[in-house]
Amino acid sequence: MSAPALDTRPGSGVSLAAFVGDDDTTAKLNNIANFHWPGAVINRGGCHDAGTYLKSAASPDLLVVDLGESENPFEDLQPLAELCDPSTQVIAMGVVNDLALYKQFINAGVADYLVKPLSEEDLETALLAATFSDVTSGEKSTNEPSGKIVVTIGARGGVGASTVALNGAWLLAEEMGHKVALVDLDLQFGTAALSLDLVPSTGMIETLRQPDRMDSLFMQSAVLPKTEHLSVLAAEEDLARQLDLHGEGIGRLVEELRSNFDWVWLDLPRSLCHLHTTVLRDAAHVQVVSDLTLAGMRDTMRIVNLFSNIGGDGEIGVIINHARRNKGMPKGEFTRGVGCQVYAQLPDEPKALQAATVGKPLAQSTAKGKFITELRKVTADIAPTVKEPKRGLFSSRKAK
C-alpha cells in the first residue's frame, strides 16, 4: 500500500461502503480498506443490496457497487442515484468490457467503471483517485507563484512519455530561453538524470519526506543544474526501501520551484495521479502520451476524466507516439474516443537509444529529426512568446 489512512470529509455516513459479488474482490477490498478506510462497510451483494443499505443508512463518501451479475448494468445502477447524496462518489464494477458502457457510466456521473478481475493495485488506485478527486476540488489559492506547470503522463507503459517530457523541457529551456525545472517523479526507476548524464541527488527524497523543512537549502541539495536554463530533480531510491511519500510533499516542492523557475515540467507516472491531483489541477498544460491501441484510448479517457473531475482549468491533450511502429486504430476513431484534442503524432525515432546511451537528449543530438520537429511545434504552442536568444560571444556554447 502507498498511503496512510485517509482523512475524508466529515459526514454522517461511513467513508466507504462496498457491495461486491465474489470472494477475490471482497478480500482485496478488505485489505485496502483496512489500510485507508478503517470502519468501512464491505458486504457481498450488488445493486439490490446497495439500495437496501442506502434506504436505512446515511450515504457514504465512496460507494462501490458490483454489477457482475446484472443483465443491464447501466439501467440497474440508475435507481441508486435517488438514494445517494450528490457528494457521494460511485464506482461501478462488472465483467462487461465495453467502451460504450464505460462512457455511459462516466457521462452519468459515475467516478469510474472497473472491469473484473482486478489486481489489488489497480483497485486501490481507482478508489484513491475517486476520493482525491472529491476532496481536492476546492477553489485554488489566489496567491500563487508565477511559474507555470506542464505535466506529461504516459497512458500506458512504454509509450515514451519520459522521452517526450525530457525533450520538451530541453526545447523549452535551450531553444526558447525559459528557465525550466524538469522533475522526474518516478523516484525508483526514473530516467531523466540518466538520460542527461547526471547523478541523482538524495536531497529530493529527503525533502519530500519532510515537506515542512523545505526552504532555500532544498534548492542547493536537490536541484541538479544541467545548463544555464535547465535544471533537473530526480532520484534513484533504493528498491528495498519503502517510499513513504505523500501528495503534500510534491505540492510543496512544486510551489517552491514555481517561485524560482518560469516552468516546472513534471514527468508523472500514471500510477501516482491519484496522489498529485492538486498539481494536476494547477497545471497549465497536461500531455497524455499514448499509442493508437484500444487500451491506450481507454486509459487516456480515464486520465482526461480525472483531470475534469478535479476541476483542472488548464489545457489537456494527447500526444500519439510510435505512430509508425504499427498502424493500430485509425487516428480519427482514437480522437473521438478520448474526447480531447490530439497535440501531435510522433514517429519512431531510430536514434533514441543512441542518444540515451551517450547522455544527451534527442533535441540536442538529433535536433532536425522528424520526432523533434513535431515535438518542437507542441512545445512552441506551450510557450508561444519565445525569448530572444543571446547574441553574445558565448551564445553558441553547448551543454556538456
Which CATH number fits the domain that encloses residue 229? 3.40.50.300
Distances (CA, A) of 82 to 79, 90, 202, 271: 6, 13, 52, 33
180 & 84 share domain: no
Q: How confident is the model at residue 43, as a pLDDT?
A: 92
How far apart (Å, rounded) are the C-alpha atoms in residues 190 and 194? 8
161 & 127 share domain: no
130 & 155 share domain: no
Classify the phi-psi angles of 73: left when phi > 0, otherwise alpha if psi is within -120 to 50, otherwise beta.
alpha
Q: Is residue 364 assigned to a domain?
A: yes
Residue predicted with more confidence, 23 or 218:
23
Q: How confident is the model at residue 255, as a pLDDT?
A: 86
> Who's near 237: CB < 8 A, 6+ residues apart?
187, 188, 205, 243
Q: Is residue 47 assigned to a domain?
A: yes
Q: Is residue 320 assigned to a domain?
A: yes
- 180-184 and 230-233 beta bridge pairing: parallel
Q: Is residue 314 assigned to a domain?
A: yes
Q: Is residue 1 assigned to a domain?
A: no
Poorest-pLDDT segment among 112-126, 190-204, 216-230, 237-251: 237-251
Q: How many structural domains does the chain have?
A: 2
How far apart (Å, rounded) are the C-alpha atoms in residues 387 and 92? 49
Poorest-pLDDT segment among 34-48, 139-153, 221-235, 276-290: 139-153
- The string of pLDDT tens digits covering residues 75-122 is 999 889 888 888 788 999 999 988 888 888 888 889 899 999 999 888
- Highest average pLDDT, of 93-107, 246-260, 315-329, 374-388, comes from 93-107
39 & 186 share domain: no
Question: Following CA atoms 201, 202, 206, 207 in sequence, which dihedral angle do they give, to the nearest 10 degrees?
Answer: -10
Segment (H or E) for 269: none
Q: How confident is the model at residue 3, as a pLDDT?
A: 39
Nearest to 305 by CA among 129, 67, 88: 129
How far apart (Å, rounded) are the C-alpha atoms in residues 293 and 297? 6
Poorest-pLDDT segment among 287-291, 321-325, 383-387: 383-387
Q: What are phi and psi of 176, to 5 degrees?
A: -110, -5
Per-residue pLDDT band at 5 (split at 50, 70, 90): very low
DSSP class of 250: H
213 & 123 share domain: no
Poorest-pLDDT segment among 197-211, 224-238, 274-288, 368-382: 197-211
How far apart (Å, rounded) are the C-alpha atoms in residues 280 and 149? 9
Residue predicted with more confidence, 113 or 207:
113
Residue predicted with more confidence, 399 or 215:
215
- The string of pLDDT tens digits covering residues 124-145 is 888 877 775 544 344 444 445 6
- Highest average pLDDT, of 31-45, 129-143, 378-392, comes from 31-45
- 180-184 and 62-66 beta bridge pairing: unpaired
Q: How confident is the model at residue 323, as a pLDDT?
A: 67
Residue 71: domain span: 16-135
How far apart (Å, rounded) are the C-alpha atoms in residues 249 and 184? 14
How far apart (Å, rounded) are the C-alpha atoms in residues 144 and 255? 8
32 & 164 share domain: no
Across residues 53-82, what is the average pLDDT?
90
Across residues 282-310, what is the average pLDDT?
92
Q: Does 235 have pLDDT greater than 90?
A: no
- Highest average pLDDT, of 126-130, 192-196, 395-399, comes from 192-196
Nearest to 92 by CA among 131, 65, 61, 63: 65
Residue predicted with more confidence, 388 or 225:
225
- The string of pLDDT tens digits covering residues 162-172 is 999 999 999 99
CA-atom Rg of the chain in angstroms: 22
362 & 279 share domain: yes
170 & 242 share domain: yes
Q: Is residue 121 assigned to a domain?
A: yes
Would you list the DSSP string of 341-376? EEEEEPPP-TTHHHHHHTT--HHHHSTTSHHHHHHH
Nearest to 267 by CA among 343, 129, 163, 179: 163
Sign of CA pseudo-dihedral 306, 232, 187, 135 = negative
How far apart (Å, rounded) are the C-alpha atoms in residues 388 and 175? 9
Q: What are phi and psi of 295, to 5 degrees?
A: -65, -40
25 & 168 share domain: no
How far apart (Å, rounded) are the C-alpha atoms in residues 224 and 90? 43
Average pLDDT value over all residues in the chain: 81
Sign of CA pseudo-dihedral 117, 338, 350, 389 = negative
Q: Does 249 have pLDDT greater than 70?
A: yes
C-alpha cell at 300: 487516456
Q: Does 29 have pLDDT greater than 80?
A: yes
23 & 171 share domain: no
Q: How confident is the model at residue 220, as a pLDDT?
A: 62
253 & 231 share domain: yes
360 & 315 share domain: yes
Q: What share of the chain is helix, strand, coil (3-state, %, to 5)?
A: 40, 15, 40
Per-residue pLDDT band at 33 (split at 50, 70, 90): confident
C-alpha cell at 177: 530561453
